[in-house]
Amino acid sequence: MDLIKRVYLKATNCSRSRELTKDDFQYHAHKESHITPMKVDILFKLCKLNNKRGEVAFNELQPISTDDLQTMLRPVLLSNEKKDEDECRNPFWFWKGESKQKQPETEVVNLASQPEHHERSNLMSVLESLYRLTMGFTAGATGAAAVYPIDLVKTRMQNQRINPNTGERMYNHSFDCFYKVIKYEGIRGLYRGLLPQVCGVAPEKATKLTVNDFIRDHLKHEDGYIPLWAEIVAGASGGFSQVTFSNPVEIIKIQLQVAGEVKGGQRPSALAVFKEKFFFGLYKGASACYCRDMTFAGIYFPTYANTKILLTDDSGYNNVSTLFLSGLIAGVPAASIATPFDVVKTRLQVKPRPGQTTYSGLRDAFKKVWREEGWTAFWKGAGARVCRSSPQFAVTLVTYELLQRLFYFDFGGRRPEGSEKKNAEPKKVSYNPNHNRGYEEAIPMITGIETQFGINLPKFNIVTISPSEKKTNEPEE
């Protein structure tokens, strides 16, 4: 089956959603001597029992094992062996006008009649959601802590404004901001506000990942295919759901991150900011936060899922490096396009200092930023945002998927896959003693030689002679 899957991937240029007809598959399989026309015919018979279309897609090869092919091939091989035995007994069969070609009787195994998994109970669905929340919580905390210094630089770059007295900026660029934070505030200054960020990002990312997975599962077709619009809807739904946690955390984090900009100024604690804002103040700028998170997630998750497919190996497997690279690539367009909403959100949530422009809402902030600073102001901190979001989500998604691989749980016949599409088939345990390649591949090769060249290879019966019989048969001296 591994060889069959490699032929399929070569024929479709690594596309797992394209369907192949029998003629197309046979055309690309003719170079592989191990795949005989009989095997191709049996393969499509097995697939036809399931989909009734006569075409095969990659996900339809997953449930078919080598044992299934052997089961359908066995009656043919037994029939050929019986025919060869008859020919060996009568080597002059062609003189008597006997027909060599006989239609073998084949036994078709109806896989569609096999028992399927029952519908999962509500308890199993709840347990699966809790499982995903736990994995997402851990993954979100790991990703947030890994890139927090970049996030601090991004926030300060987006919040800086031209000094009305001197006409100068505090930071020239992101690297200048990074250098000045270390110079004047020390290494600890890069991690100012980390605790509320981790405490808030963990449930935020857990909610986003769980909702995204839930929507994907329900919009997925029966054959496992999910259209692009469904991926976008699932991602945007995940982004929408996280604002409940992300907006309060963003406000507290931003207040702490910009506190160090004023030399000798009072630096509030997270608890002090929480008491000052209380409940309604913690959701200031939520409209911009909704726009940012829905835009980001609606772009990120489809790009991530489809990039993973392009980076899989021949067997459809993603290792850690391809998962991380997929997360990095997906983060670039998602973070870039959502930057204007992030800039406006930062302006709405930061407490203005004396003399600075104030904003009453999302539309008012867009108008004033455009009028006072130009369109380039909407892309402030875009580089820092991409450098922060891409590795953060890459670390988060890699951790999320590796945790699901390490801590395997079967929730009613299915394994949680996160945002990952089904790429690799878990290896099945075979009880066939001839499964280890040698005999399995030799049989079709020998059969092909006999049928294509008309050669009848000799058949031997192995006779075991015991030591006592051997001694009896020895000639006397």
Handedness of CA 180, 183, 185, 189 (dihedral sign): positive
Above 50 in pLDDT, residue 339? yes
Mean of all residue pLDDT scores within the chain: 73
Above 90 in pLDDT, residue 304? yes
**Residues in CB range of 272: below 8 A, 6 or more apart:** none
Above 70 in pLDDT, residue 117? no
pLDDT score of 102: 44
Q: Which domains, and CATH codes, for the chain?
A: 2-94+101-112+436-453 (no CATH), 122-406 (1.50.40.10)
Above 50 in pLDDT, residue 115? no
Name which residue leads in pLDDT, 36 or 362. 362
Element (H, E) at 178: helix 174-185
pLDDT tens digits, one per residue of 269-282: 767 777 776 666 77
Rg (CA), the chain: 33
Q: Is 339 exposed, middle or buried (0-12, 13-18, 19+ CB in 10 A)?
A: buried
User: CA angle at residue 237 from 233 to 241, to 5 degrees?
Assistant: 175
pLDDT score of 106: 42
Name which residue leads in pLDDT, 307 or 435. 307
Residues linked to residue 20 through DSSP beta bridges, in sequence order: 56
Above 70 in pLDDT, residue 365? yes
The Cα–Cα gap between 98 and 106 comes to 22
The residue behind tokens 């030591």 is 467
Most confident range (mean pLDDT) of 90-104, 147-161, 248-262, 404-418 is 147-161
| Residues 200/245, Cβ–Cβ less than 8 Å | yes
pLDDT tens digits, one per residue of 396-439: 999 988 888 888 776 654 554 544 444 444 444 444 544 455 55
pTM: 0.56
pLDDT score of 354: 67
